[in-house]
Amino acid sequence: MIEILSVTGPASVQDLGRFDQYRFGVGTSGAMDDVALRAGNIVLGNDENAAGIEIPMLPFKLRFDRDMAFALTGADVEAEIAGRAIPPWWRSHARTGDILTVKAMPRGARLYLTFGGGIDVPMVLGSRSTQFRGEFGGWHGRPLQPGDILPCAASIATIGDLGVEPAEITLARPNAAADETIVRVVIAGEHDRFDATTQALFWSSSWKITPQSNRYGYRLQGPAVKPKAPIEKRSHGIVPGVIQIPPNGQPIIQMRDAQTSGGYPKIATVIRADLWRVGQARLGRKLRFEQTAYAEALAAEAEMSAYLDRLRTNVRLIAEIRTCR
Amino acid sequence: MTTPDRPRISLLGTSALLFEAPGAFDLPHQRRIWALAATASKWPGIREAIPGITNLMLTFEMPPRELDTLIAALNDAWDAAEGLAIGGREIRLPVTYGGEIGSQLRSVADHCGLSVDDVVAIHAAPLYTVFALGSHPGYCYLGGMDPRITMPRRQTPLQRSAGGSVSIGGSQTGVSASPGPSGWHAIGHTNWTFFDPSWPTPAALAPGDTIRFEIERVIR
């Protein structure tokens, strides 16, 4: 078990998400940076879909009520346990009574804390992710609070410390700038309802992530992009990554807690291989969109999967080497 | 893809595809969508077929390598689709129109050039059909609203709208099942449980069910 001692902002229990309940109006939820959650589970030898804690704000502090392995992935981090520093993208081991303190996130927006065996909350409608709008899943369907004691599934015995290369480095984009996140998008249904000049403005602009951005969606600020004529669509299904343009011309990227349907015109959709980059972009940061074709989007997903496959292989090899010694 | 009487098919990234039927926002078209959903949900590689308002979203187990086969299959299945008449149950929902939650009642009346009482009477008159579920857990999109009370969605969506809100968005109406962001205009509210994850089917209503709004009170 682990006990939450201090928490800032809406930290929550998330797995990869709930993907087959759209017909009841239930969205995916799940980790905003699914690559980091997968990696955090892989280094622990967990199922990749095991539930961890998504931490969007610091400080955060918890106590381990038994010996267990844990990992920190996602954002860059300054953390310590029992007087020793824990680097980012690192697996370590806690003893009963140890207190883990996460002090700062120098880069990135969300940190993932995973545990050997995973957080053992009940599966609700096929997932352990917190569904905030429906107030179910995760830990009682709500953000974590001090005093919450989370059960962890039984895990294997002590495994040694291990660091892995962050996704941000391995999957770095060649054209990445320090102050901007570039994400690839596939054009969506209403792209052609914007004239060429407006489309060009959408692609060339640097979009600022406003404070009204969260797990539901990222509201962006920049020049107004408006369709040739106002569009009122009949409501239809949407998925995380869809970029809607409400009448004010300021794009909204739908994120993991987004509604499952909408009617604002859609100009493009962030590809799955880049949605985690949006999840790691902080408020105030700039986003730029790069058009990509469906086939290239699939290739990008394959690249992401290959990174996770390599990670899995390396973790297994290291475990075997340690066993041999 | 832009021929007026042909369906429009577009991508939602690599995780889903959207099929939009040509023609009117009416029950016959929606029944064909329900039929198409029943067919497409059995296709290999399709995780879910989710009806919207005269449209259908297909989510993928794995994104298909190429899309032409799927697009052709959707077009063929649409042409072959006979309307699926779902005999649902009828629900009566008492509504308090206006008040703090239904604060947009006056704006809708002004926008439509009607009195508040007219808007209420027009809204409560039809027997609505649940066309689709979506937006948030348990939310129902209803078909059958009188076009005289149409009002475009908000310029900027609200960050938080109350649970139980009876709202108008464009030519559609619906009742929210829980509090959350919304781009629609709330004209009233109701107290009813639309969703419980512990139920065998988590949503209380399903496509094909019908709803009649009963005017419990009008706060002017």
Contacts of A246 in chain B (CB under 8 A): 153-157, 183
Burial status of residue A42 (CB atoms within 10 A of its CB: 0-12, 13-18, 19 or more): buried
- Of the ranges A168-172, A191-195, A272-276, A287-291, which one carries the lowest mean pLDDT score? A168-172
What was the pLDDT predicted at A158?
59
Cβ contact (<8 Å) for A25 and B138?
A: yes
Per residue in A125-170, pLDDT (tens digit) is: 999 999 999 999 999 999 999 999 999 987 665 578 999 999 989 9
Closest partner CB to A248 (pick from B14, B135, B155): B155
> How far apart are the C-alpha atoms of A41 and A52, rounded to whole Å?
8
> How far apart are the C-alpha atoms of A185 and B11, rounded to whole Å?
11
Contacts of A137 in chain B (CB under 8 A): 197
Residues of chain A with pLDDT > 70, as a percent, come to: 98
> How far apart are the C-alpha atoms of B45 and B40, rounded to whole Å?
10
Cβ pair A194, A225 in contact under 8 A: yes
Q: Is A301 helix (H, G, I), strand (E, B) or coil?
A: helix
With a cut of 90, say whether residue A27 has pLDDT above it: yes
> How far apart are the C-alpha atoms of A88 and B87, rounded to whole Å?
56
Cβ contact (<8 Å) for B18 and A25?
A: no
CB pairs under 8 A between A and B: 184
Task: Work out the end-to-end distance of chain A between its first and last CA atoms, rounded to an integer number of angstroms.
Answer: 31
What was the pLDDT predicted at A157?
57
What was the pLDDT predicted at B220?
87
Q: Is the model's pTM score more than 0.90?
A: yes
What is the third-level CATH fold of A180-292? Cyclophilin (2.40.100)
With a cut of 50, say whether residue B53 has pLDDT above it: yes
Top residue of B9, B15, B176 to mutate, by most chain A CBs within 10 Å, is B15
Per residue in A175-212, pLDDT (tens digit) is: 777 789 999 999 999 999 999 999 999 999 999 999 99
Contacts of B16 in chain A (CB under 8 A): 237, 239
Top residue of A18, A19, A24 to mutate, by most chain B CBs within 10 Å, is A24
**CATH 2.40.100.10 residue ranges for chain A:** 180-292
Contacts of B169 in chain A (CB under 8 A): 235, 263
Question: How distant is the Cα of B139 from the closest Cα of chain A, in angstroms?
Answer: 6
Interface predicted TM-score of the whole assembly (ipTM), two decimals: 0.95
Closest partner CB to A246 (pick from B49, B156, B178): B156
Taking a contact as any Cβ pair under 8 Å apart, which residues of chain B between 65 and 104 contact chain A? 65, 67
Question: How distant is the Cα of A250 from the closest Cα of chain B, in angstroms?
Answer: 9
Calculate mean pLDDT across residues B83-97. Answer: 92
B82: which 2 tokens? Answer: 């006979």
What was the pLDDT predicted at B87?
83
Question: How distant is the Cα of B210 from the closest Cα of chain A, in angstroms?
Answer: 16
Closest partner CB to A297 (pick from B13, B25, B202): B13
With a cut of 90, say whether residue A94 has pLDDT above it: yes
Burial status of residue B146 (CB atoms within 10 A of its CB: 0-12, 13-18, 19 or more): middle
With a cut of 50, say whether residue B22 has pLDDT above it: yes
Question: How distant is the Cα of B54 from the closest Cα of chain A, in angstroms?
Answer: 7
What was the pLDDT predicted at A238?
98
From the list A203, A204, A252, A247, the residue with the least C-alpha distance to A227 is: A247
